[in-house]
Amino acid sequence: MRVKNFAVCYNNKIQNSVDAKNNLTQLLIEQNVSCEVLDIDNLKDGFDFAFVIGGDGTILKAARFFAKFDTPIFGINLGRLGFLSQTSREYLMQSVQKILQGQFHIEERIMLQSGDNLALNDFVIKGNSHGRTARLSLKINGNAVCDYLADGLIISTPTGSTAYGLSAGGPVLAPKLEAFVIVPICPHTLTARPLVIPDNELVTVSMGDCENGFVVSTDGQNFYECNADIEIKKSLHNAKLALLDDSDFYTLLRDKLRWGTSPAKMS
């Protein structure tokens, strides 16, 4: 793809992000590339490509915004894990050169939608009574599936399967799979297990005995209360992640999560 208009997105409240932004813009200037600098809390459209500086939370926020405009994003990690990022500050120069030389590809990631809310990772639904389990009724395509007595439910994309869903005991899905994962959080039963479903199905979560309604979170960032059934489906928008040509999901699993590495080798 031919890139004309670049954006550099960063968090002006974090000094490391400010420093990385300055380094990146200087690198682009040295390559005679113009760009516009945007704070992560004041994003706008009109770009062919966006560099996003920060941890996974910053990248998720940018992904939800730019997905509506089909703008690819490239993550530069400043956080602890950086599962969605492609490079770090130490390799910034090499990565920018690869981007400018076109040595990258765009991978589209499916997203979830509930009303006007989008999620690249997941929706998390919990009862509004703090410190208590909730009874959550799950339907798929209008058919009753399960009543959970649990701390909550995670409805996750393949991208989000390595996030909260993994911590709650869910499976890891390769990001190109067209599927969702439904993972109960601390279910009060021995029979409730994570469920993988096709991404063209409609998920409905009902309140059960949640007299005070639900608290719903989007990618662990946007929280809102709901007193009615929640419907979650595949979004019409896809997140577009710019990945370097030498990137590989399974290598990322091993490097970031120490997948398949024995405890002796980790020490």
Active site residues: 56
d(CA 72, CA 27): 20
- The C-alpha atoms of residue 15 and residue 75 are separated, in whole angstroms, by 17
Q: Establish how many alpha carbons lie within 13 A of residue 118's alpha carbon, considering only the half-sphere containing its beta carbon.
A: 18
E-assigned strand segments in the chain: 6-10, 35-39, 49-54, 73-77, 87-88, 104-114, 117-119, 122-127, 134-140, 143-150, 152-156, 179-185, 195-198, 203-206, 214-218, 222-226, 230-244
- What sign for the dihedral angle of Cα 24, 98, 249, 251? negative
Structural contact between residues 88 and 77, judged by C-beta atoms closer than 8 angstroms: yes
The answer to whether the beta carbons of residues 234 and 56 sit under 8 Å apart is no
Any idea of the CA torsion for 185, 190, 191, 196, to the nearest 10 degrees? 40
Q: Where are the alpha helices (DSSP H) in 42-199?
A: 56-66, 92-100, 164-167
CA distances from 147 to 124, 188, 191, 196, 213 (A): 16, 11, 11, 17, 16
Report how many helices (DSSP H) and strands (DSSP E) the chain contains, helices first.
Answer: 6, 17
Considering only CA atoms, which of 131, 141, 153 is closest in space to residue 207?
A: 153
